[in-house]
Chains A and B, each alone.
Chain A
Amino acid sequence: MISAVAAKINEQVMSKEKIFGQLADAIAATLATAAHFTLTLDGEDSQFTRFNRAQVRQTGEVSDGNLTLTLMQTDRTAAATVPFVGEFEADWSLLKTALADLQAMLPQLPVDPFVVLPTGSATSRMVNQGEILDADAIASTLLTPVNNLDFTGIYAGGLIFRGYADSADQRHWFESTSYSLDFSLFDAQNRAVKGTFAGNQWQQSKFLDKINQAKHQLAMMSRPAKTVERGQYRTYLAPAAVAELLHMFSWGGVSEADLQQGNSAFGLLRQGKHSLSAKFTLQENFQQANMPRFNIYGEVAPLQLPIIEQGKLVNSLVSSRSAKEYQIPSNYASRGEYLRAPEILPGTLAADQILTSLNTGLYLSNLHYLNWSDHPNGRITGMTRYACFWVEQGEIVAPIENLRFDESLYQCFGKGLVDLTDFQETIPNIDTYGQRGLGGSRVPGILTNDFTYTL
């Protein structure tokens, strides 16, 4: 059953890659030599099955794809996106119209002094084949083991593909057959624990392990909840909670454009007015990422790039557009200069020492709905969520009623940082806005002092 799915996906992908190449060739043959272009493709054939109370709420599949043609001529640029269905005649018809629209639009536009022309010679091909569940088998495979539980969440799986081609003859292809399961288990008091499970190969035994871990954690939530007064507490943030904080680094954080334009939480770090702990090191690491390394300019990111090294901001993310504007070298970041394969390096805190080292304070498994509350000072507000506990003298005493926190990155990753765990976890990117996300972050847990709770 699983092999048949893999064979079908493989056949579809071969065709998509071939058609994409033919479309790029057709653009190149049509354009005048003075014009430059890039052509990108992103698409998916995805299954989405949504669960509530160990039953199916909604189920279906989505077959989608988009081509984006960017035209550059006489220092002007514009882009057009059209559907990609994987049939040359249909796709070329729309793409040809888009090209004509762009050619009509370009002369009307102001000169763009920072336009990035394709100049490299990079090519790449990355294929992550997978063996995932057949659509017919998803409900029974996932729900049979949890039929006596309040299991809620979503399974998303299938093929994701990305393509790149340009007038400098650079070519990239990326495809990945993968799945993710993002779920919560609830008890009768509406307390919950969270689990995520993702990969290229469905492994039923690992799924059952995940469910059993979540059941064990949920049992600990059955004790009467403690209401914690607002104040500052020593706090352990598990890897999933750290990953939520890490997301903020990509929203007015380590982008060079944001730093230059007064829109970064790390402007004061760069100016030397704030500092982070020497125990904190952040890097981009594509070594094991299920993520294309090429960007919309066809550039391939370095396998590793240190961003914050022992508390010092050693690199920002610099796209070639920012490089041109600010006259600095590019490190081939994405156009939006967000982290694509972030990794926080581990520390020395062993798993079996977490509660002892925490001693008395809060153990937070997850955080929810983060936002800047004082952006220039790196201060973030958000909520605790799921399995969060009050700990006394190294022992879990009780789950807590959810708390609002309001704390600066310069506190929790700065002077408050006691240690990071000696292990990391991969937190998959399970976003499905517009399309299924790729990659994830690799993070340890952290132990920090005087974490501030406000409501």
Chain B
Amino acid sequence: MFKFLSDVVTAATISADWIGIRAIKDTTKACAIRDAHPERNTQQFGQGAMVEVLAQGQFGYSATNNLSATALANAIVTAYKQAVAASTWSVHKFTTAARPQAKGTYVSPHRKGLDALSPGELNQILLQICQRLKVSDKIAQTTASARSHDIETWFVTSNGSEIYQRDYLVETHFGTIAQDGPTTQLRTDHGYLAQSYQGGWELFPGLDLWQRVQQVGTQAVELLHADNCPDLTTTLVLAPDQMMLQIHESIGHPLELDRILGDERNYAGGSFIKLEDFGCLTYGSELMNVTFDPTVPGELASYGFDDVGTPATREYLIRGGKLERGLGGLESQQRSQVPGVANSRASSWNRPAIDRMANINLEPGDRTFEQMIANIEHGIYMETNRSWSIDDQRHKFQFGCEYGKLIEQGKLTRTLKNPNYRSITPQFWQSLSQVGDRNTWEMYGTPFCGKGEPNQLIRVGHGSPVCAFDNIEVFGGAV
């Protein structure tokens, strides 16, 4: 493939400063069972190439799902014309420094291949999950699903880059809805497709699968008759499967440099962070240490290079509560003169790379879970995201969870349904008062981070310990 793509690039006769081809072949297999009946069995083979050209300081692109030499040669010409037509209106005059030469290979760690489970075997496991979720006649719906992705990417450029990356991904989910009269309650395995990782079928079914299934079913029924989360301001303790969302929405997105530079203002929004805040702003309490880390083995958004060829490295975004670095790739770093990371990423061959999260993790502290709870006289503990909403500057947010517990005098007591909380990002992170140790740290992922024009859904990973926040407004539901 490298030679084929290099030959296409070399044969181009346009007077461009740089030409690049990012070719992708991907196979996705998906299976879903609902109420012990098959809902979906699909496989998808995709292929295509993103052809980019830099001319007169402007990038232009042409993406095609036709990988013939003729189609790619035509795409180079089209991308060149796109660049030239827009060059008098460029938001920034880019140079080839935005696409330095790079060579290398990355393959997701995996012990088993993605053909280790046949469609028949996978259907049977998911079917059993649905059957075992039905722990009571109050269970109104059961679902179980699994997807695998085998994604190969070749990146070849006119300045000699040659990068091959192969991602093996497994994404699984199960959950249930319990119903009793007008009351319904949802309980899932840490949130929709939160069990998304890099690897093969060694990831599923895991050793604790059936215990988790039993717990999800039982807790769904338990929630039906639980008290509503009270309306008050108190200490809030968040489990890692809710911290994932909290980190994503109130740290990841506001630190994206393209949002701060204004690219995203018409769609997802801007940010309350300003370029001059990097290096000096106190983002949260000194217990707050956040890294951009696409090098964590098995985390969903790990890679060797981003989609413009920048080598991936672990970097602190926030250390001791101080904001150090933004989430911006080479183009945003040129424009903003702010230190960034290797995060120019695209959802597939048919979208250009933009600033994205990859793995954004909150580093562990030194408290055990028991120590954290013992320190709290009154509070609410919440697990598993079910609702999320935040403003276009990433300031005022309201998040809801599936499952809550009251904390009274250092102990977890009654179960609470409909636990929600709301706050404002800087105040919230300033109120971070306890950070759990490595034993409380868990890692999840999601394939559904939406952003960009044209829109792109991308995979991100988030790891976090259990965390406690003081004086947070919590509230429940109507019934």
C-alpha gap A267/B48 in the complex (Å): 44
Q: Are B37's CB and A373's CB within 8 A?
A: no
Within 8 A of A (CB), among B34-69: 35, 37-38, 40-48, 58-66, 68
**Segment at the interface with A among B11-19, B148-156, B306-314, B392-400:** B392-400
Residue numbers in B under 8 Å from A62 (CB-CB): 62-64, 350-351, 454
- Answer whether residue B183 sits at the interface, using C-beta atoms and an 8 A cutoff: yes
Identify B89's interface contact among A139, A383, A404, CB under 8 A. A139
A-B contact count (CB 8 A): 252
C-alpha gap A78/B282 in the complex (Å): 53
Residue numbers in B under 8 Å from A48 (CB-CB): 453-454
Most chain A beta-carbon neighbours within 10 Å: one of B41, B60, B183, B391: B41
Given contacts A59-B86, A377-B478, A83 and B48 within 8 Å (CB-CB): yes
Q: Please give the distance in Å from A307's CB to the nearest CB on chain B.
A: 21
Q: Please give the distance in Å from B421's CB to the nearest CB on chain A.
A: 11
Q: Are A154's CB and B86's CB within 8 A?
A: no
- Answer whether residue B120 sits at the interface, using C-beta atoms and an 8 A cutoff: yes
- Answer whether residue B78 sits at the interface, using C-beta atoms and an 8 A cutoff: yes
Identify A432's interface contact among B140, B262, B266, B455, CB under 8 A. B455
Q: Are B265's CB and A184's CB within 8 A?
A: yes
Given contacts A273-B182, A433-B455, A404 and B37 within 8 Å (CB-CB): no
Within 8 A of A (CB), among B210-267: 261-263, 265-267
Residue numbers in A under 8 Å from B351 (CB-CB): 62
Q: Are B179's CB and A57's CB within 8 A?
A: no
Identify B182's interface contact among A80, A182, A373, A376, CB under 8 A. A376
Within 8 A of A (CB), among B59-87: 59-66, 68, 71, 78-79, 81-83, 85-86
Residue numbers in B under 8 Å from A197 (CB-CB): none
Q: Are B266's CB and A368's CB within 8 A?
A: no
Q: Are A112's CB and B37's CB within 8 A?
A: yes
Within 8 A of A (CB), among B429-479: 450, 453-457, 477-479
B109-149 vs A: 1/0 string, CB under 8 Å? 00000000011100110010000000000001100000000
Q: Are A101's CB and B455's CB within 8 A?
A: no
Given contacts A152-B262, A377-B479, A432-B454, A190 and B48 within 8 Å (CB-CB): no
Identify B81's interface contact among A63, A80, A136, A154, CB under 8 A. A136
Q: Are B266's CB and A184's CB within 8 A?
A: yes
Q: Please give the distance in Å from B454's CB to the nearest CB on chain A.
A: 4
Residue numbers in B under 8 Å from A82 (CB-CB): 44-45
- Answer whether residue B177 sits at the interface, using C-beta atoms and an 8 A cutoff: yes
Q: Are A53's CB and B45's CB within 8 A?
A: no
Q: Are A373's CB and B265's CB within 8 A?
A: no
Q: Are B266's CB and A58's CB within 8 A?
A: no
- Answer whether residue A52 sits at the interface, using C-beta atoms and an 8 A cutoff: yes
- Answer whether residue B296 sits at the interface, using C-beta atoms and an 8 A cutoff: no
Closest to A43 in B: B65
A125-144 vs B: 1/0 string, CB under 8 Å? 00000000001101110010
- Answer whether residue B410 sits at the interface, using C-beta atoms and an 8 A cutoff: no
C-alpha gap A192/B266 in the complex (Å): 9
Count, chain B residues at interface, CB 8 A: 84
Identify A77's interface contact among B41, B43, B478, CB under 8 A. B41
Q: Does more than half of chain A's interface fall in helix, strand or loop, or is it mixed? A: strand
Q: Are A377's CB and B179's CB within 8 A?
A: no
- Answer whether residue B388 sits at the interface, using C-beta atoms and an 8 A cutoff: yes
Q: Please give the distance in Å from A429's CB to the nearest CB on chain B.
A: 12
C-alpha gap A249/B107 in the complex (Å): 42
C-alpha gap A261/B186 in the complex (Å): 11
Identify A186's interface contact among B265, B352, B398, B453, CB under 8 A. B265
Most chain B beta-carbon neighbours within 10 Å: one of A94, A192, A369: A369
Identify A60's interface contact among B66, B79, B119, CB under 8 A. B79
C-alpha gap A53/B456 in the complex (Å): 22
Given contacts A263-B177, A263-B184, A368-B391, A109 and B38 within 8 Å (CB-CB): yes
Residue numbers in A under 8 Å from B388 (CB-CB): 371
- Answer whether residue B418 sits at the interface, using C-beta atoms and an 8 A cutoff: yes
Q: Are B266's CB and A433's CB within 8 A?
A: no
Q: Are A59's CB and B60's CB within 8 A?
A: yes
Q: Are B43's CB and A192's CB within 8 A?
A: no
Q: Are A404's CB and B78's CB within 8 A?
A: no
Q: Are B48's CB and A64's CB within 8 A?
A: yes
Q: Are B123's CB and A64's CB within 8 A?
A: no
B337-352 vs A: 1/0 string, CB under 8 Å? 0000000000000111
Residue numbers in A under 8 Å from B61 (CB-CB): 58-61
Residue numbers in B under 8 Å from A76 (CB-CB): 38
Given contacts A58-B352, A108-B123, A372-B387, A139 and B141 within 8 Å (CB-CB): no
The 3 closest A-B pairs by CB, nearest first: A108-B120, A60-B61, A432-B454
What are 5 of the A-B contact pairs (CB < 8 Å)?
A52-B91, A81-B44, A152-B265, A373-B387, A431-B455
